[in-house]
């Protein structure tokens, strides 16, 4: 119940075209549900499977717009679990960020944020090393991995035999998802944004751009 209350407390404050709207809370047989509009086209991965000719560059930019709205919010909001499955596409074919279960306000006085959780392939090196909490910079890193996901239509590091080997590659060999010409679209707008991915997934959090700078 506490987690649902926390998610609702963050989500209810948000009002932006790139953020899925919060409609309310519904309880059935002591089970609590958070209610939002139905997204007819599902999550980003399923959308791209059904609409392979979609303008992926536009999708990526609009996801960035959602994050650029969250981060400067007062107080700032860390999403904490940016990935394709947390981007929903309604009938208008425009992306909405969803799933604020890991989202937290940042306390400007203490710079507190959240530890752990999230989806491993999208987690930054400093989080994988357990050296840092989730932050605006870790959201930016996850966005960079999502650029790959949007462009190539693959789960990042899909070819690694295990999560452990993937983590070792990221931490000790600096591995990042490669752009794959065979599966990436010949899309000028996407090719332009691809250059941002390398900045976003820099090993050094200080070298990553802000989401406002990405735009």
Looking at the annotation, which residues are catalytic?
Answer: 81
What's the rounded Cα separation, in Å, for the pair 126 and 138? 8
Question: Where does residue 89 rank: exposed (0-12), middle (13-18), buried (19+ CB within 10 A)?
Answer: buried
167-171, long-range: CB < 8 A, 24+ apart: 167/120, 167/128, 170/125, 170/128, 171/125, 171/128, 171/129
Give the sign of the dihedral formed by CA 126, CA 128, CA 130, CA 136. positive
> Strand, coil or helix: what is 160?
coil
> Does residue 50 contact residue 41 with C-beta atoms inside 8 Å?
yes
Are the beta carbons of 102 and 79 closer than 8 angstroms? yes
Residue with structure tokens 């499977």?
Answer: 49
Q: Where are the alpha helices (DSSP H) in 43-187?
A: 44-50, 56-70, 125-128, 136-152, 163-172
């Amino acid at each position: 119940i506490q987690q649902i209350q926390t998610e609702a407390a963050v989500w209810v404050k948000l009002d932006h075209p790139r953020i899925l709207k919060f409609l309310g809370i519904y309880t059935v047989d002591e089970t609590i549900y958070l209610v939002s509009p139905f997204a007819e086209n599902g999550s980003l991965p399923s959308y791209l499977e059904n609409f392979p000719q979609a303008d992926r560059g536009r999708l990526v930019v609009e996801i960035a717009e959602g994050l650029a709205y969250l981060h400067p919010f007062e107080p700032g909001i860390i999403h904490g679990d940016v990935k394709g499955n947390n981007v929903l596409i309604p009938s208008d074919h425009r992306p909405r960020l969803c799933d604020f279960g890991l989202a937290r306000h940042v306390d400007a006085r203490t710079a507190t944020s959240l530890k752990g959780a999230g989806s491993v392939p999208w987690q930054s090196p400093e989080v994988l090393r357990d050296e840092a909490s989730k932050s605006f910079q870790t959201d930016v890193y996850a966005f960079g991995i999502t650029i790959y996901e949007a462009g190539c239509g693959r789960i990042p590091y899909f070819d690694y035999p295990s999560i452990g080997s993937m983590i070792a590659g990221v931490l000790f060999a600096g591995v990042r998802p490669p752009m794959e010409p065979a599966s990436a679209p010949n899309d000028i707008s996407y090719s332009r944004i691809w250059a941002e991915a390398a900045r976003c997934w820099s090993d050094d959090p200080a070298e990553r751009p802000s989401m406002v700078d990405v735009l």
